Amino acid sequence: SKWRVWGREDVRRTLKRRDPFSHKGSFGTGLLVAGSDEMPGCAILAGSAAMRVGIGKLMIGTTKYAASIVSPRLPEATYWQINHQSGEALRLPEGADAVAVGPGIADADFIERFLTEIWPKEIPLVLDAGALHPRNWTKRKAPTVITPHPGEMARLTGLKVEEIQRNRIKVASDFAVRNGMIVVLKGKDTVIALPDGTGFVNLTGNPGLAKGGSGDALTGMILGLVASEPDPVAAVANAVYLHGLCADELLEEESERAIMAGDISATIGRVLRSLAETEENGSY
């Protein structure tokens, strides 16, 4: 059938080893637009996750205040300070190979202005949280990924959460096909629906992820893999798989209740290493 589980062997088959001759330009530059004065931390969670899956360079677009909160925790990134309220045209930084927008942003006007700028550009785009509002989506050439939880999917589709949860695959798939997007419908057994009507289900993860911030980490991992990997579909599916696997790995040492979103990124290295270690040809 056209739908199947995305599993460990899929990750090992698709996730690229790093070329010994590579440099930071080899792994793409991501632009993460996230965080605001009320929710500055989302950019820490998403940004750390993007870097830990192997992106080459990360630019974080956020408010001046949020940048001062994020940068001590993410010294490896560079910062583009955005004034959400300003009426001036947004001057996007150059050089991004992939963009993610939404975590920790409540300002609908700013989102609107940003999406208007970014939509026509031919780079992969990941939309989450504050960027997930009903809209007249026109199809894009470059891959577009949305990462709603059931509540956000309800907002996008007008359906009730219960209807969505009863038909997770169908609802996600319909939206993906109609809008030419990759839809990541989150929650237990996350659904990854592709524009061609096929898709995957993910089985990693646990209720330790049922906590504020987990979704931000996923958005960052998707951005990081989409920016650094050739195939965007595998990139998204691998991000979802690894995100859940980190939470499962954390249970070796602590409890579901205690897992915090910030722990996820800290686990990516160990998880990737354990995926690689039975391989003959090097590490991820």
Range 162-201, binding ligand AMP (CB under 6 A): 186-188, 190
Among 31, 39, 146, 201, binds its own copies (CB under 8 A): 39
Strand ranges across the sheet with 57-62: 3-5, 199-201, 191-193, 182-185, 144-146, 125-127, 98-101, 29-33, 57-62, 78-81
Among 70, 192, 209, 236, binds ligand AMP (CB under 6 A): 209
Q: How many CA atoms lie within 13 A of 284 on its CB side?
A: 26
Which among 112-120, 132-140, 193-201, 250-258 is the span making contact with its own copies, rule CB under 8 A? Answer: 250-258
Q: Are 124 and 54 in contact (CB under 8 A)?
A: no
218 lies in the binding site for ligand AMP (CB under 6 A):
yes
By rule CB under 6 A, what string of x and - marks binding of each residue 144-163 to ligand AMP? -----x--------------
Instruction: Estimate the crossing angle of helix 214-228 against helix 41-52, to 10 degrees.
Output: 40
Which among 31-39, 75-83, 134-142, 204-212 is the span making contact with ligand AMP, rule CB under 6 A? Answer: 204-212
Nearer of residues 96 and 209 to Mg ion, judged by Cβ = 209
Distance of alpha carbon 174 from alpha carbon 180, whole angstroms: 10
Picked from its own copies, ligand AMP, Mg ion, none, the partner binding residue 116 (CB below 5 to 8 A depending on kind) is none
Residues forming contacts to ligand AMP in the complex (CB under 6 A) are 20-24, 149, 186-188, 190, 205-207, 209-210, 214-215, 218, 243
